[in-house]
Structure 1
Amino acid sequence: MPHIFKIERPLFKHRYDAHPDDGGASLYVRMRLATNNLPDLALHGGPDATCPVVAVCHMPNFSKTLKIGLGDPSAADGAVRWEDLIKANVSGTRHCWAMDLPAHNSGGKVARRRLVWKRTRNVAVEGMKTSGLSPRNWKLLEDTDGEGEGEGEGEVLAVFTSDVSPGKAGALQVNVDFGGDWETMVLITCLALYERSRRR
């Protein structure tokens, strides 16, 4: 069953709020102020900044690659898994990343799987439609050929549909359940694309 987050970006606030449709706790995403050296985005595992950080994103200036960290870089153990979110084409309609996930037909074994966020005009979150007013609509596919095309088997693993209403960002629908780390990575990579696009 798909898991949907309604994502808000409150006006005049440096944050996003992700509200799950299953009644679970909202997630708080802090945006970096221009005057400090914190990550550009920090995803907290609860509704405010007092909750533990579970993922971060750094957006280096003039770089095609965003740095995604699963974990809290400021934690004493420093146990963060870093991944690259890479712009795969000149137009910026495709962004690739990878993580360890259950392998296909492997009986529980884990394998490195490549993924790609692709801009879409045809696929939307359940009950929504894509808007021609926004380029911030993406679908997540497996990048089986390693070229950032993401055609492969064609399964849409997740989809983000933007909402141009004031104070709204959109909705993220996660279609497959690979566990908590998977959902965290889908959310932080999606918000990283949204925030990078918004800043341009």
Structure 2
Amino acid sequence: MIYTIDKPLWKRHFSVLAHDAKTPRLVRLRPSAADKTPLLSLHAGPDTRSPVLATTYIPFLSREFYFSVGGGRWESMESAFGPGPRHRWSWHRASFVWKRTRSVAVEGMTISALSQGNWKLVDARGDVLAVFTNERRCGRCGRLQIRVDYGSDFDDMVLMTLLTVYWSGG
């Protein structure tokens, strides 16, 4: 599944459109940093009246993020730095890591050698499960390709963890 992710200038939301869908989904950013509401809220439709599918919360000055899908329990994602930033999270007892990449791209796209905004999601075996390729155009963030079919909840988790990494600056 390939998603196009846009963020209109001066707006507090992302628009996420699956390539086989007609209606985009909205990911709303919280109004202010001091607010205790979730940083990101994924809605099932194009506006905030649509049901919330997933949320992300980042405590102030924390290296740990929290996210939930479908009102379920909160999971955590830790930021680790070393030879490049990494963001590790688990779901249903499986572990995943977002890593920067310059070698893997979404189908049909290429990566600039200077680009820092490309990510791949790998599992414990090192298999690439998803790829985000950055697009530097006004209002466009990039494209996300999920290469496995683990269900819609997993797709929502991948999307929310990626947007959290993207919004926090990686």
What letter corresponds to residue 50 of structure 1 in structure 2?
Answer: R
How far has the Cα of 1:24 moved from its partner?
4.6
Aligned to 1:30: 28
Say if 2:161 is the partner of 1:189. Answer: yes
User: What do residues 55-80 of structure 1 show as CA deviations (whole Å, max 9, x unaligned)?
Assistant: 11112222111111113xxxxxxx43
Say which SS state the counterpart of residue 81 (structure 1) adopts. coil
Say which SS state the counterpart of residue 168 (structure 2) adopts. helix
Aligned to 1:46: 45
Seen in structure 2, the aligned counterparts of structure 1 residues 36 and 61 have a Cα distance that, compared at 3 Å, is closer
Considering only aligned residues, what root-mean-square deviation do their CA atoms show, in Å? 1.6
Runs ≥4 residues deviating over 4 A: none
For residues 87 and 147 of structure 2, the distance between their equivalents in structure 1, rounded to whole angstroms, comes to 19
What letter corresponds to residue 93 of structure 1 in structure 2?
Answer: P
How far has the Cα of 1:155 moved from its partner?
2.2
For residues 24 and 179 of structure 1, the distance between their equivalents in structure 2, rounded to whole angstroms, comes to 20
Say if 2:86 is the partner of 1:94. Answer: yes
Q: Aligned residues, how many?
A: 169
Equivalent runs, 1:100-179 vs 2, <5 Å = 100=92, 112-143=93-124, 152=125, 154-179=126-151
What letter corresponds to residue 61 of structure 1 in structure 2?
Answer: F
How far has the Cα of 1:45 moved from its partner?
1.2
Quick check: which one's strand share is greater? 2
Which range moves more in the overlay, 175-184 or 60-69? 60-69
How far has the Cα of 1:180 moved from its partner?
1.0
Aligned to 1:59: 58
Structure 1 residue ranges without an equivalent (≥5): 72-78, 101-111, 144-151
User: What do residues 39-63 of structure 1 show as CA deviations (whole Å, max 9, x unaligned)?
Assistant: 1111111111111111111122221
For residues 24 and 120 of structure 1, the distance between their equivalents in structure 2, rounded to whole angstroms, comes to 30
For residues 91 and 42 of structure 1, the distance between their equivalents in structure 2, rounded to whole angstroms, comes to 31
Equivalent runs, 1:7-26 vs 2, <5 Å = 7-26=5-24
Residues 139 and 158 of structure 1 are in contact (CA less than 8 Å); yes or no, is this contact kept in structure 2? Answer: yes
Percent identical pairs in the alignment equals: 42
Say if 2:76 is the partner of 1:84. Answer: yes
Residues 131 and 162 of structure 1 are in contact (CA less than 8 Å); yes or no, is this contact kept in structure 2? Answer: no
For residues 18 and 52 of structure 1, the distance between their equivalents in structure 2, rounded to whole angstroms, comes to 15
Aligned to 1:68: 67
Structure 2 residue ranges without an equivalent (≥5): none
What letter corresponds to residue 52 of structure 1 in structure 2?
Answer: P
Residues 83 and 97 of structure 1 are in contact (CA less than 8 Å); yes or no, is this contact kept in structure 2? Answer: yes
How far has the Cα of 1:142 moved from its partner?
0.5
Greater C-alpha Rg: 1
Say which SS state the counterpart of residue 165 (structure 2) adopts. helix
